[in-house]
C-alpha cells in the first residue's frame, strides 16, 4: 500500500528542476533546457494518462499496467477499488445464490412480482404448480398467466390478509392456496402451497357430518312420531311412564334440533354466497321473531324491545332469519329472568345498516369471546345444555354472515350484559324501501 505524500512530490519536482538547472548552466542555455524539461514532463504525464485510459476502456487484464512515479498511486488506487468491488460482487452473488437455493428448497411455489405485476423471479415449484415457464415468463404480467377470475379479483382488491384457494392451473384435481406478501415498497412475494390433501380432508369431514346427520334424522323422526302418539294417551300422565316419556321426548327433541343444526351448517358450508340474492324483508322477519320469542320468553318474562327501521336487504331470507333468531334466543337464554333485551335494525350514517341485540345478562369473559363462534363451544356446558343449547347457534350465525359479506361483533361485560351485532354493507341494502306492512 503506497501512501501519497506531498513532500515527496515536492522534493522530486525540486530535484528535477535542480538537475535541469545544472544541465542548463553546463550547456549554457538554462531557459531552453528548463522549457524542454517542462515539455518532457507534460508529455510523460500524458503518456501515463493514456496508459491508464487505455487500460480502463480497452484493457483485457484485470491488473493495471505498471505506472510510474506519482501515477503509480492512481493506478494502484483504481486497482484497489476494483478488487473491493469484485469482492463485494462475489459476496452479493453468494447471498443471492443462497437465497435462491433457500427458496428452491421451500415446499412452496415462490414468485416475486414487481409493482406492474410483472414476474421478476420464480422458483422451480412455481413452474410445476402454477405452470409458469422460467426464464421465458420473466417480465410477463402475472394476471396474464393466471387467468382465473377469483385470482384476478383477489389481486385487484389488494386485500391480502386472507389467503385465496384456487384449483391448480396445471395439476388435475389439485388446489393451491395463494398468499401475497408485499415485502418492499415495490416488490411483492407470492407464495403458493399445495392444499389438495387438506381440502380433501375438509371435504371428507363435511361429507361425514352431513351424511351422519342425514342418516340420524330418519330414525329420530320415527322415534319422535311414536313418542308423540304415546303422549296422546291420557293414562300416561298418571302411570309410571309419564316422567320417562317426558324425558325421552325432551332428549329426542334435543337430538333432533342438533341434527337439524348440523344439517343447516353443512348446507351453509356447501354453498358459497347465495347465488341469487333475493329481497329480504327484515321488518317482516322481525315481526315474526317478536311473536315467536313470546313463547321462548314465557318463563323469564324479559322486557324485549324491537326498534326496527323499514329497511330491506338482499340475501337469503331463511338464512338471515336463522341468524336473527339465534341471536335473540341466546339473549333470552343467557339473561336471568326479568332482564331487558333491545333488538335494533337501523341505517348508519355511512349508508350501511346495523343489526344489534343487547341484553342485560351474564356477559361473557374476554377469553371466551374469541372462541364462542366455534362449533360446540359453550362457556358453561351444563348451563347451556339446560337451555337446550348445542353450541352450534353462533357457528351458524357466523357462516350466514360471512355469506352476506358481514361479520359478527361481540362486546360484553361479565355480569352486565352483551351486545351481538353485525353490519350489512351498502351494496346488500335495498335503498329506501318503506315496507308497507310496517307502517
Ligand atoms: P348454544 O346453543 O349453546 O347457545 P351458541 O353457539 O349459540 O350455542 O353459543 C355459544 C355459547 O356462547 C353459549 O353456550 C353461551 O355460553 C355463550 N353465549 C351466547 N350468547 C350469549 C349471550 N347473549 N350472553 C351470554 N353468553 C352467551
pLDDT digits (tens, 9 = 90+) for 14-31: 999 999 999 999 999 989
Q: Which residue's CA lies nearest to atom 13 of ligand 1?
A: 378
Closest ligand 1 atom to residue 335 Cα is 24
What order do you get walking across the sheet with 109-114 strand by strand? 119-122, 109-114, 187-194, 175-182, 164-167
What average pLDDT values come out for the chain (439 residues) when binned by 10 residues?
77 91 92 92 92 85 78 86 92 91 88 90 89 89 89 87 89 90 87 92 91 94 95 89 92 92 88 77 95 90 94 93 95 93 95 96 91 88 69 93 94 94 94 49
Residue to mutate, 255, 257, 334, ligand 1, most ligand atoms under 8 Å from C-beta:
334
Q: Please tell me the predicted confidence (pLDDT) of residue 4.
A: 76
CA 245/CA 226 separation, integer angstroms: 11
Residue 268: count of CB within 10 angstroms of its CB: 19
CATH code for the domain defined by 198-270: 1.10.287.130
Q: What is the DSSP string of 56-69?
A: HHH--SSSPPPP-T
Ligand 1: lining residues by beta carbon, under 6 Å: 326, 330-331, 334, 359, 361-362, 364, 372, 377-380, 384, 389-395, 418
- Give the pTM: 0.67
pLDDT at 407: 94
Atom of ligand 1 nearest to the CA of 380: 16
Q: What is the pLDDT of residue 76?
A: 85
Rounded to the nearest angstrom, the distance between the alpha carbon of 329 and the centre of ligand 1 is: 9
Of 160, 163, 116, the closest CA to residue 142 belongs to: 116
**Which amino acid residue places its CA nearest to atom 14 of ligand 1?**
378
Residue in the structure block whose three cell numbers are 324479559: 302
Q: Ligand 1: distance of its center to the CA of 366 in Å?
A: 13
Q: Is 223 exposed, middle or buried (0-12, 13-18, 19+ CB in 10 A)?
A: middle
pLDDT value of residue 59: 78
> Is 106-194 assigned to CATH 3.30.450.20?
yes
Please name the residue whose Cα sits nearest to atom 11 of ligand 1: 378
Neighbouring CB atoms inside 10 A of 27's CB total: 10
Task: Give the residue whose CA is nearest to atom 7 of ligand 1.
Answer: 393
Task: Please tell me the distance between residue 179's alpha carbon and the centre of ligand 1 in angstroms.
Answer: 34
- What's the rounded Cα separation, in Å, for the pair 303 and 80? 88
Among 123, 151, 149, 147, CA closest to 135: 123
Ligand 1 centre and the CA of 347: distance in Å?
27
Distance of CA 405 from the midpoint of ligand 1 (Å) = 23
Closest Cα to atom 2, ligand 1: which residue? 389
User: Is 155 strand, coil or helix?
Assistant: helix
Distance 10 CA to ligand 1 centre (A): 94
HSE value, Cβ hemisphere, 13 Å, CA-based, for 400: 26
Point out the ligand 1 atom lying closest to the alpha carbon of residue 390: 2
If one residue of 372, 375, 396 were mutated to test the ligand 1 pocket, choosing by the most ligand atoms within 8 A of its CB, it would be 372
State the burial class of residue 201 (Cβ atoms within 10 Å of its Cβ: 0-12, 13-18, 19+): exposed
From the CA of 364, how far away is ligand 1's center (Å)?
Answer: 9
Q: How far apart are CA 396 and CA 398, in angstroms?
A: 5
Residue matched to cell numbers 316419556: 245
**Ligand 1: centre distance to CA 224 (Å):** 26
Ligand 1 centroid to residue 414 C-alpha, Å: 13
Dist. CA 334 → ligand 1 center (Å): 7
- pLDDT for 436: 42
Residue range 278-438, CATH number: 3.30.565.10
Atom of ligand 1 nearest to the CA of 392: 6
Residue that the C-alpha cell 351486545 belongs to: 419
Note the pLDDT of residue 68: 78
The pick from 378, 395, 417 for probing ligand 1's pocket by mutation, whose C-beta has the most ligand atoms within 8 angstroms, reads 378
Residue 435's pLDDT is what? 43
- φ, ψ (nearest 5 deg) of residue 380: -125, 100
Interhelix angle 71-105/30-58, nearest 10 degrees: 10
Give the chain's length. 439
Distance of alpha carbon 7 from alpha carbon 14, whole angstroms: 10
pLDDT of 2:
55
**305 CA to middle of ligand 1, Å?**
20
Q: Identify the residue whose C-alpha is closest to ligand 1 atom 21.
A: 330
Amino acid at each position: 500500500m503506497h501512501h501519497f505524500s506531498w513532500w515527496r512530490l515536492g522534493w522530486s519536482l525540486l530535484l528535477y528542476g535542480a538537475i535541469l538547472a545544472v544541465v542548463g548552466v553546463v550547456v549554457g542555455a538554462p531557459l531552453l533546457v528548463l522549457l524542454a524539461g517542462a515539455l518532457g514532463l507534460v508529455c510523460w504525464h500524458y503518456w501515463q494518462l493514456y496508459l491508464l485510459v487505455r487500460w480502463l476502456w480497452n484493457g483485457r487484464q484485470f491488473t493495471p499496467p505498471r505506472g510510474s512515479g506519482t501515477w503509480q498511486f492512481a493506478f494502484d488506487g483504481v486497482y484497489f477499488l476494483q478488487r473491493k468491488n469484485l469482492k463485494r460482487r462475489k459476496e452479493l452473488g453468494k447471498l443471492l445464490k443462497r437465497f435462491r437455493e433457500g427458496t428452491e428448497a421451500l415446499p412452496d411455489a415462490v414468485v416475486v412480482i414487481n409493482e406492474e405485476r410483472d414476474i421478476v423471479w420464480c422458483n422451480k415449484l412455481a413452474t410445476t404448480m402454477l405452470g409458469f415457464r422460467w426464464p421465458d415468463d420473466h417480465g410477463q404480467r402475472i394476471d396474464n398467466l393466471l387467468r382465473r377470475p377469483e385470482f384476478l379479483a383477489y389481486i385487484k382488491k389488494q386485500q391480502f390478509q386472507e389467503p385465496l384457494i384456487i384449483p391448480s392451473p396445471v395439476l388435475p384435481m389439485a388446489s393451491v392456496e395463494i398468499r401475497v406478501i408485499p415485502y418492499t415498497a415495490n416488490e411483492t412475494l407470492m407464495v403458493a402451497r399445495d392444499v389438495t390433501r387438506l381440502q380433501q380432508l375438509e371435504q371428507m369431514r363435511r361429507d361425514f357430518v352431513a351424511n351422519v346427520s342425514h342418516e340420524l334424522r330418519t330414525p329420530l323422526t320415527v322415534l319422535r312420531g311414536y313418542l308423540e302418539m304415546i303422549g296422546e294417551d291420557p293414562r300416561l300422565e298418571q302411570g309410571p311412564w309419564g316422567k320417562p316419556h317426558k324425558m325421552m321426548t325432551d332428549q329426542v327433541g334435543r337430538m333432533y334440533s342438533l341434527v337439524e343444526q348440523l344439517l343447516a351448517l353443512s348446507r351453509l358450508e356447501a354453498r358459497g354466497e347465495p347465488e341469487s340474492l333475493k329481497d329480504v324483508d327484515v321488518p317482516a322477519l322481525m315481526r315474526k321473531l317478536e311473536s315467536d320469542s313470546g313463547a321462548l320468553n314465557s318463563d323469564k318474562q324479559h322486557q324485549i324491545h324491537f326498534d326496527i327501521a323499514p329497511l330491506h336487504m338482499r340475501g337469503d331470507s331463511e338464512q338471515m332469519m336463522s341468524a336473527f333468531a339465534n341471536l335473540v334466543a341466546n339473549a333470552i337464554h343467557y339473561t336471568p329472568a326479568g332482564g331487558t333485551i333491545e333488538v335494533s335494525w337501523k341505517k348508519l350514517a355511512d349508508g350501511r345498516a346495523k343489526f344489534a341485540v343487547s341484553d342485560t345478562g351474564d356477559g361473557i369473559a374476554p377469553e371466551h369471546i374469541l372462541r364462542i363462534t366455534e362449533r360446540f363451544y359453550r362457556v358453561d356446558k351444563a348451563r347451556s345444555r339446560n337451555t337446550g343449547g348445542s353450541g352450534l347457534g353462533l357457528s351458524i350465525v357466523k357462516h350466514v354472515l360471512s355469506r352476506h359479506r358481514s361479520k359478527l361483533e361481540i362486546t360484553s361485560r361479565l355480569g352486565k350484559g352483551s351486545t351481538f351485532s353485525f353490519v350489512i354493507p351498502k351494496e346488500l341494502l335495498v335503498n329506501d324501501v318503506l315496507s308497507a306492512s310496517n307502517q
